Amino acid sequence: MKRSFSSRVRWQTLALATLGGIFLIQPALAGHKPWPGSPLTDEAQIVLERASRYMKSNPGKATPMILDALSTATDIPKCMAIAAYTEPYGHPMLEARRACISKALSYCQTREDFLQLAIKARQYECFEVTRQSVNNLVGSSNTVDELLDLARKAQEVALNDISHLAMEKAYQKADSVEEALKFAREAKILGMEDLSRKAVKELIDDEKETHELCLLLRSIEPLEFKDLNRLLLKKAIDEGRTVTDFREVYDGARRQAQNDIMKLAEFRGRKMQILQKYKASQAEYQQKVDAYRQQQQGAQQQQQQQSQGLPTGF
């Protein structure tokens, strides 16, 4: 079937345009000096150099060129390199940078990828990509150790809000005293004193035995929360039931220089000792009374048997 005249003209125009593009690219490649250390191909570099002529004066013309270079990007470094190239041209190229960040998100696989992307996304005001990066970072970490590691790494790159979110989730995942103590220590190191204090306070509230409270005191003493240490000691003395309990509270109060609690523990411990001695003497006296009564009852029974002329046994 023969083509129409207009169809032949379109095909010829397209062929000429393609050949023209090839003829234009080849001289550019021949005269192009590759960028040292750049992950971009020479073709992408040439396109960006051409776009740079319009980035300030005519952003509308430069943006399609940048997007054309972005279409050749196949990994995160290439996307980030294109975005970085537009930074010196300021706000007019903001949308192009956002496009680079959005495409980079599709290539993220590791925690480090998402952390670095979150930094750049925030810098470029690409809030949706920031949100998705944060959700992935926190959502993909499911153990206390993973979340603590994420919190440390996020704080290292100044993503303090992500670090705080990771720590909050880590505390929710902590299901033992050991994990809660580990969390409290890490939160203190990271400067999140509010979370560290919250963990310690709940540990104190959950414990009901004086001995366990005094063991807990030794674990939280390095955190230097003096008010919480005092709170623990006051609860421990109220829960005390034995001389040993009060002796442990006394030792803990002495380490913490809580003289009033130390004196109260000493008083209650001595009072408990006196009560115990009194109870012991009462028990001993009662045993003697019971023995005497049994002896008297036995003597009476013998007398009755003798008066009735019955055998009294051997």
pLDDT at 309: 58
The whole-number pLDDT of residue 9 equals 42
The pLDDT of residue 182 is: 94
Long-range contacts of residues 2-7, Cβ cutoff 8 Å, at least 24 apart? none
Nearest one of 15, 80, 73, 77 to 44, comparing CA atoms: 73
Enumerate the H helices of the chain as residue ranges.
Answer: 5-31, 42-51, 59-70, 76-86, 94-105, 111-123, 127-139, 144-156, 160-173, 177-189, 193-206, 210-220, 226-239, 243-255, 259-307
Which amino acid belongs to residue 262?
M
Please state, rounded to an integer, the average pLDDT across all residues of the chain: 85
For tokens 């220089």, the residue is 257
C-beta of residue 215 within 8 angstroms of C-beta of residue 249: no
Q: Dihedrals φ, ψ of 163, to 5°?
A: -60, -40
Site of tokens 């495409």: 103
Which DSSP state fits 75? S
Q: Indicate the DSSP class of residue 32.
A: -
Provide φ and ψ at 12, rounded to 5°: -65, -40
Using only C-alpha atoms, what is the Rg of the chain? 41
Domains of the chain, CATH where assigned: 39-140 (1.25.40)
Residue 11's pLDDT is what?
42
116 phi/psi in degrees, rounded to 5: -65, -40
pLDDT digits (tens, 9 = 90+) for 93-123: 889 999 999 999 999 999 899 999 999 998 8
Q: Are 202 and 187 in contact (CB under 8 A)?
A: no
Phi and psi at residue 176, to the nearest 5° = -150, 165
256: helix, coil or strand? coil
Burial class (CB in 10 A: 0-12, 13-18, 19+), 121: buried
The residue with tokens 């003289």 is: 259
pTM above 0.75, yes or no: no
| Assigned token pair, 265 | 């523990």
At residue 181, the pLDDT reads 95
Name the burial class of residue 42, with classes exposed (0-12), middle (13-18) and buried (19+) by CB atoms within 10 angstroms of its CB: middle
Please give the single-letter amino acid code of residue 180: A
Per residue of the chain (314 residues), what is the pLDDT tens digit? 444 545 554 444 434 433 444 444 455 455 568 888 899 988 888 899 898 888 888 988 999 999 999 999 999 999 999 999 999 988 888 899 999 999 999 999 998 999 999 999 988 888 889 989 999 999 988 899 999 999 999 998 888 989 999 999 999 999 999 999 999 999 999 999 999 999 999 999 999 999 999 999 999 999 999 999 999 999 999 999 999 999 999 999 999 999 999 999 999 999 988 887 777 777 777 887 777 778 777 777 777 766 665 555 54
Residues 6+ apart with CB under 8 A from 97: 83, 86, 87, 124, 126
Q: So what's the pLDDT on residue 59? A: 87
